[in-house]
Amino acid sequence: MTYTGQVVVGGPGDVRHLDEVVIRKVAVGPLANDVYLLTCRRTGAQVLVDAADSPDDVLALVRAGSPTARLDVVVTTHRHLDHLRALGPVVAATGAAVAVGDPDAEAVAAATGVPVARRLRHGDVLRAGDVVLEVVALRGHTPGSVALAYREPAVVHEPEAAAGRVHLFTGDSLFPGGVGNTQRDPARFERLLTDVTERVFDRFDDATWVYPGHGADTTLGAERPHLGEWRERGW
């Protein structure tokens, strides 16, 4: 079946099969947080993006990728409570390491009682089997918000061939229709929009698929024409 990214709380998840990785998406909790599981097809290594809520549902997602509930790392995209309410139970059940953007790491550890094994910085790389994720810091929604960029391998055989499609997990920093909430703070909005512009839109092409922290997916091509509108409206 074709992946759409359309999921609702209590409903079935959606699954996307790529050459190196399987991406699974479910929605959980009262704020309909999106949770993503990336499973390396060769090694079975798994990365969870945001153990947001409803730990039983999150653990069921992990088991959908690995019957043994293997989970190598949980990346918490930022420190807001709706993105980490299931972190403690999921780590207790799986033994997964926790990775958080450096400026948000202490807040996540304090809120959950879970130690942060890795403090992420812009440009860092996370590896789980064949899955290679680049850390993209997007400051503004919170100081330590991060996105994760996975690039598919090129399918063609010429050495000068263009790289494959990018899949970008953006937390609450980029959605269909705009950047994340900055509470009408002009300085935070300017920082977030600048980071999103320079670190995302200026680097990745229109085919880039965006997996946000809530709601439907989008692409950079669908959002790029509206960057000027976002800046003009100020949110």
Report the domain count for the chain: 1
pLDDT at 63: 97
Please name every residue paired with 38 in a beta bridge, in sequence order, or none if there are none: 23, 47
Structural domain for 171, as ranges:
14-233
Instruction: Name the maximum alpha-carbon separation found in the chain.
Output: 50
Q: What is the pLDDT of residue 12?
A: 96
**Measured between alpha carbons, how far apart are the two ends of the chain, in Å?**
36
In a domain, 57, yes or no: yes
Q: Answer yes or no: is 2 within a domain.
A: no
pTM confidence score: 0.96
The CATH code of the domain that includes 117 is 3.60.15.10
Classify residue 8: in a domain, yes or no.
no
**Rounded mean pLDDT for each run of 10 residues along the chain, 235 residues in total:** 94 97 98 98 98 98 96 98 98 98 98 98 97 98 98 72 87 98 97 98 98 98 98 95
Structure tokens at 69: 């509930």
pLDDT at site 51: 98
Give the model's pLDDT for residue 227: 98
Whole-angstrom Cα distance, residue 31 to residue 37?
19
Q: Please, which residues have CB within 8 angstroms of residue 40's CB and are 6 or more apart in sequence? A: 20, 21, 46, 128, 129, 130, 131
